[in-house]
Amino acid sequence: MVLSDSAKAIFNSMHEGINIIDTEEVIVFANKAYRNFVASENGIDPDKIEGQKLRSLRPGAKLPSVMMSGEPILQQERKEGATSYFVNMYPIREYGLITGAISVVTFMDEASSLRQKIDEVEKRNRQILHQVNASDTAAVTFDLIVSRAPKSQACKEFAKKIAQVNAPVLLMCESGTGKGVYAKAIHNASARRTEPFASINCALFEPAALEEKLFGQRGAQLGLLEAVNGGTLFLDEISELSLDLQSRILRLIQRGTIRPVGAIEEVPVDVRIIAASNVDLTENVVAGRFSSELFYALNSFAVKIPPLRERMEDVPLLTSQILDDLSITLKRRLTITDDALDRLMSHSWPGNVRELRSVLEFSAYTCSDDRITAVNLPENVGKGSSRDTMPLYDKVKEFEKTEILKTLEYYGNDLKGKKAAARELGISLASLYAKLK
C-alpha cells in the first residue's frame, strides 16, 4: 500500500490523527498528529513509529480486528492519560480485497462542549468515511463482473438498468456468488456514485448491537445510516434482521427518516438500501419471520444472481481474473494448465465463486513452479462420477464443513476462535455450530 505525496500532505495538514496499517498490521503511514499523540503517550521518537507493528506500540489496538472482520467501528470514546478522544476505524478495500485499515482519531478538549464536539465529529466522520471508501467503490464497476454465459450476461444487463433507478434493490443468490461486487457496481453506476457506500452483514450481530450499528446512539455513536447519508447501504443476509428492525428499515424506505437509539425525534436521512438474501424470503414471509411489506418494497427491483454451476462458461475467465489478483498478492505470475482447468470445468461448485477462489488460493500455495496443474488441486475438485452421485445439498454441507474446519485450524477451536471464524466466514456462531454437525 503506497500513499502519494499529495495524500500524505493532506493527511499531515489535519488536526485528526490518521493511522494506516497493512495486512501485516505494520504502520505504513501515520500523520504528524498521530505520531505526536503516540509518542507522547509512549515516550518514543515520533519519527520511528512508521514501519513498526501497531500492537507492539499499542497492545490493545482494535484496528487489526477491524481489518479482520471487514466491519468499521465508529464513534469509540476513549481516554489515555490526560487525552480524551473519539476514534473511528475502517477497513481499506482495493479491488474488492481488504488491504489494510485506517483509524481516525479526533482529540477532544475536556473543557469544550461535549455536544458540540460530537456534532463536529459526526460531520467530519461522514467526510472521512466518504474519502476512505471512494477509491474502493469507484474501482468496482460492472466491467469487473465476468459474464460470458447467457444467464450472467442477462443478470448484469438488468442490474445496470436498475442501477439508474433510485429505489431499493434485492439481490437474491446463493452464498459466494459475488453479491458484494454487484452491490458496489450498482452503487457506482447510480447517481449516488460520488457519495459514501458501506456494507454490513446482519447475521454477525445480535439485534441490540445491530440496532446501534445501523441507527447509532444519540450523543454517543454515529450509525451507518447517518454515516452514509446521501449514499448507499448494503444489508447482507437481511433475512437475519429482527421484525422490529425490519419495520424500522421499512420506515426509512417509506419516509426517509430514522430514530437513533435513545433519541426521541426522527432524523432525516437519504440512503439507498441494497439488500441481499441467500434464503427464500417468500418462505420467511409465509412463516411470519419476514415482513411482507418490507419484502414487497425490496422485491420490486430484484436481481437473481445465477450460481456458478449455471454459468460454467464464466469459469475460465473467473479463473484468469482470480489468478491475476493472486499474482499481485503473492508477487509471482501464476498460470494454470489445461488439465487443471478441465478439472475446474467438471466441478459443480456448491460454494460458487468463493469456493473457486479458495481452491485457486490453495493450489497457488501448493504449486512449485508458479503453474497450477491438476495435481495441485484439492482432491475433491472435479473427480467425476464418484462425486456426481452425491446430492447437491450434501456437496454444499461438505464444502462448508471443510472451510469451517480450515478456518478453525487457524483461529483455534475454543469459543474465541469459533467467534473469530464465524466473523471471517460471514455466518453467525449458531450457524457455525449447526454446519459442523
Predicted local distance difference test score (pLDDT) of residue 301: 94
Residue range(s) defining the domain that contains residue 297: 165-301
Reply yes or no on whether the pLDDT at 308 is more than 90.
yes
- The verdict on residue 310 lying in a domain is no
Predicted local distance difference test score (pLDDT) of residue 129: 54
How confident is the model over 234-250, as pLDDT tens digits? 999 999 999 999 999 99
How confident is the model over 371-386, as pLDDT tens digits? 999 999 998 887 653 3
Predicted local distance difference test score (pLDDT) of residue 111: 35
Predicted local distance difference test score (pLDDT) of residue 415: 81
Question: At which of 301, 323, 343 does a domain end?
Answer: 301
Q: Percent of the chain at pLDDT above 70?
A: 88
Predicted local distance difference test score (pLDDT) of residue 383: 64
- The verdict on residue 143 lying in a domain is no
Instruction: Tell me the average pLDDT of the chain.
Output: 85
Stretch 318-322: mean pLDDT: 94
Listed ranges 1-10, 46-55, 428-437; the one with the highest mean pLDDT? 46-55
Stretch 146-173: mean pLDDT: 95
Predicted local distance difference test score (pLDDT) of residue 86: 81
- The verdict on residue 51 lying in a domain is yes
Stretch 329-348: mean pLDDT: 92
295 and 422 co-located in one domain: no
10 and 102 co-located in one domain: yes
292 and 206 co-located in one domain: yes
Q: Residue 352 — pLDDT band, cuts 50, 70, 90?
A: very high
Which of 184, 72, 183, 91 has the alpha carbon at shortest distance from 138? Answer: 184
Distance CA(54)–CA(399), nearest Å, equals: 35
Stretch 88-99: mean pLDDT: 82
295 and 177 co-located in one domain: yes
How confident is the model over 36-57, as pLDDT tens digits? 888 887 778 888 899 999 988 8
- The verdict on residue 227 lying in a domain is yes
Q: Comparing 127 with 6, which gets the higher pLDDT? A: 6
103 and 172 co-located in one domain: no
Question: At which of 73, 91, 112 does a domain end?
Answer: 112
Question: At which of 248, 269, 301 does a domain end?
Answer: 301
CATH number at residue 66: 3.30.450.20
Predicted local distance difference test score (pLDDT) of residue 432: 79
- The verdict on residue 136 lying in a domain is no
98 and 22 co-located in one domain: yes
- The verdict on residue 234 lying in a domain is yes
Q: Residue 408 — pLDDT band, cuts 50, 70, 90?
A: confident
Predicted local distance difference test score (pLDDT) of residue 387: 42
105 and 195 co-located in one domain: no
Listed ranges 121-125, 297-301, 419-423; the one with the highest mean pLDDT? 297-301
- The verdict on residue 195 lying in a domain is yes
Reply yes or no on whether the pLDDT at 214 is more than 80.
yes
175 and 285 co-located in one domain: yes
72 and 174 co-located in one domain: no
- The verdict on residue 364 lying in a domain is no
297 and 401 co-located in one domain: no
Q: Minimum mean pLDDT among 25-29, 30-34, 81-85: which range? A: 81-85
CATH number at residue 257: 3.40.50.300
Q: How many domains is the chain partitioned into structurally?
A: 3
Reply yes or no on whether the pLDDT at 130 is more than 60.
no
107 and 179 co-located in one domain: no
